[in-house]
Structure 1
Amino acid sequence: MEFIVSVGKIEDINLYYEVGATVLIFCDEFHGTRAPGKLNHQELVQAFQKTHDLGLKVAVYMNRIYTDKELVKAEEYFEFLKENQVEFIYYNDPAIYMIAESYDMVERLVYEPDTLMTNSRDMQFVLDQGIHHCVLSTEITLDEMKEICKNVQGKTEAILFGYLNMSYSKRHLIQNYCDELGITNTCVDKMDCVLIESTREGKMPIMEDAQGTHIFTYYVLDAFDEMEVLKEVGIHAIRLDGIFLPSEVVADACKAFMMIDLGMPSDQVRKKFEEKYNSIPFSKGYMYQKTNLVK
């Protein structure tokens, strides 16, 4: 099983290596979004080299929704990724698949359409195109995840830790709101802004960047117990998303998953972890209730 962690800083590479991560995901300044941090070209080269030197695999986010004019940059990025032997490319725009075909890199693709991968027929259709694996939606129940894993021929990934992406718009909603009120927008490319909604509990992290507005759950998913269940049905990989969280918390979570994978009772590991970080609003998310009951 792969243990995948999204990384925001080069300095965190050793930290995640030491706790058992096997794949590290990086994000550049143009092609990726919804990541703990973004690296420039020179930093990416350094990060890729350092990760490979430690024997880990490198992945990148290409989860931008591209316009026709932007596809030239996507092609240039593929050349860069191929040159640096990047193992996995996370995408959601079909245009990226077409470019990957031209570079003979389809087998490195990981399809992650956020909320859309909710049934085995859709997943099998995409897997049959020759990509490496697909990422399950975080908005389906554990039972639905199990059924998909059992029914598809191919590899699957599940996000089991972190804040979950709940809503995305290419519109700059915070900027529009500030323009309407005549105030300055202080949330562009910031990781400390929250949305408080009258019909929900808690504070939802909200981020606005060049690609639009992103809203996340007010809670942090910690599906330690559920990893055992998914492992039994053949899940290929689990991911820990570090956005909005200190790297030490993500590293401890990775260590906890590793302990469970090695046979320690998940309830004991989870309880100890939640006690250590009792100020974080943990939740099982949609694991045990359908989204129409909580949205």
Structure 2
Amino acid sequence: MKKTELLVTPASIDHMEDLIEAGADAFLVGEQFYGLRLAGEFTVEDIEVATGLAKEHNKKIYVAMNGLYHNDKVDFLAPYMEKLQQIGVDGIVFGDPSVIIARREANVTIPLHWNTEQTATNYFTANYWGKRGATRAVLARELSLDEIVEIKENAEVQVEVQVHGMTCMFQSKRSLLGNYFLFNDKVMEVENRAKNKNMFLHDNERSNKYPIFEDTNGTHIFSPNDMCMIDELDEFLDAEIDSLKIDGILHDPAYVTKVTSYYRQAIDTYGESRAAYKAIKKELLQQIEQIQPSLRPLDTGFFFKETVY
């Protein structure tokens, strides 16, 4: 059976070292200028260090270029990818077709992972981007498990699915919080807001709190719960999903490291025996529940259509 990749988003180089020890196979890194909703800020110099560390441990590095670019940014794309090729990264995550054009013009050969967050919902579209250079499709978070399995059965590219962490519900290119504070004569710097992990939109009707933060790409609002599929991984592994992602954005690095170790144990145990995995999966879920922040209840996302936000 094909080995499924465990992909994690590190907050820093030090955190990446911990995640390697915890059993991560691959890492998604990048910087705000090119990428969206990153767990940590990795400059080109950081990416070079991270790539060297990954190669030393037989891991992979993917770089986020999944922003939606205006004209003022497109001239930066090709030079950035040329640097990434010199460094030797293993993949570029993109959503804007300008990345395909810039990559071609720069004669860059780094594999592309198509990620548009919401529109990767069928295998026809995944294969469309596959014919234009993508080697992987990062599926939308709003798909059911049955839909994901059907896409995998018909996709001509690799398939990546998020199985743990927050889901982005809303993004605006505008600094909605910043504009509000400015209107009220309470100026807040974007950097300060980006580092603030304790701002929420309150939905009293549903008793939900939606994490919200801003960076240079605008305003991002996240789901009130964290998805957690550690006790349902056999469905993904049976389907031979190529990559399972743990998104660590807005979470403490120590929490992400611990969660990664649990998913590593789950995947490896399944590889030994499906029955052995079934015997430990409830215990693994309980271990995550014990370290889960009280403000972030766990659910199964849209995989079984239980989520309503």
Q: Give me the TM-score of the superposition, normalised by structure 1.
A: 0.92
| Distance change in 2, residues 1:111/1:200 (3 Å) | farther
User: Relative to 1, partners in 2 of residues 1:68 and 1:267: Cα closer, same or farther, differing over 3 Å?
Assistant: same
Distance 1:181 1:147 in 2: 50
Listed one character per residue, the Cα deviations across residues 58-98 of structure 1 (whole Å, up to 9, x for unaligned) are 11111221112211211111111000001011111110011
Q: Which residue of 1 aligns with 2:187?
A: 184
Q: Aligned AA for 2:177? A: I
2:288 is the alignment partner of 1:283: no
User: Relative to structure 2, which stretch is displaced further, 276-285 or 16-25?
Assistant: 276-285
* Cα distance change of structure 1 residues 124 and 225 upon mapping to structure 2, 3 Å threshold: farther
Give secondary structure in 2 for the equivalent of 1:132.
Answer: strand
Aligned mate of 1:225, from 208, 223, 231: 231
Equivalent of 2:265 in 254, 259, 263 = 259
The one of 189, 206, 217 aligned to 1:211: 217
**1:116-265 matched pairs, under 5 angstroms:** 116-185=119-188, 188-192=193-197, 193-261=199-267, 262-263=269-270, 264-265=277-278
Deviation at 1:278, TM superposition (A): 6.4
Assess if the C-alpha contact under 8 Å between 1:28 and 1:44 holds in 2: no
Matched-pair contact (CA < 8 Å) for 2:134–2:157: no
* Equivalent pairs, count: 293
Tell me how far apart the structure 2 counterparts of residues 275 and 167 of structure 1 sit (CA, whole Å): 29
- Shifted more, 145-154 versus 55-64: the winner is 145-154
Q: What secondary structure sits across from 2:64 in the alignment?
A: strand
| Residue 37 (structure 2) pairs with residue 34 (structure 1) | yes
TM-score computed with the length of structure 2 as normaliser: 0.88
Gaps of 5+ in 2: 271-276
Cα distance in 1, alignment partners of residues 126 and 265 from structure 2 = 30
* Segment drifting more, 253-262 vs 179-188: 179-188
Which residue does the alignment assign to 2:273? none
CA RMSD of aligned residues (A): 1.9
**Maintained 8 Å contact 1:142/1:226:** no
Contact persistence 1:140–1:290 (CA under 8 A): no
For structure 1, which runs of at least 5 residues remain unmatched after alignment? none
Is the Cα contact below 8 Å between 2:7 and 2:25 reproduced in 1? yes
Q: Distance in 2 between matches of 1:15 and 1:174?
A: 34
Asked whether the equivalents of residues 231 and 284 of structure 2 are also in contact (C-alpha less than 8 Å), the reply is no
1:106, 1:131 within 8 Å by CA — same for their partners in 2?
no
Q: Which moved more, 1:2-11 or 1:176-185?
A: 176-185
Q: Do the aligned partners of 1:141 and 1:290 also contact (CA within 8 Å) in 2?
A: no
CA deviation after TM superposition for structure 1 residue 33, in Å: 2.4
State the alpha-carbon separation in 2 of the partners of residues 175 and 278 from structure 1.
27
CA drift of 1:270 comes to 1.4
Work out the CA distance in 2 between the residues paired with 1:77 and 1:107.
12
Q: Corresponding residue for 1:272?
A: 287
- Whole-Å Cα distance in 2 between the matches of residues 127 and 106 of structure 1? 14
* SS of equivalent to 1:93: coil
- Structure 2 CA distance for aligned equivalents of residues 107 and 231 of structure 1: 27
- Partner letter of residue 214 of structure 2? E
Change (3 A) 1:116 1:106: farther
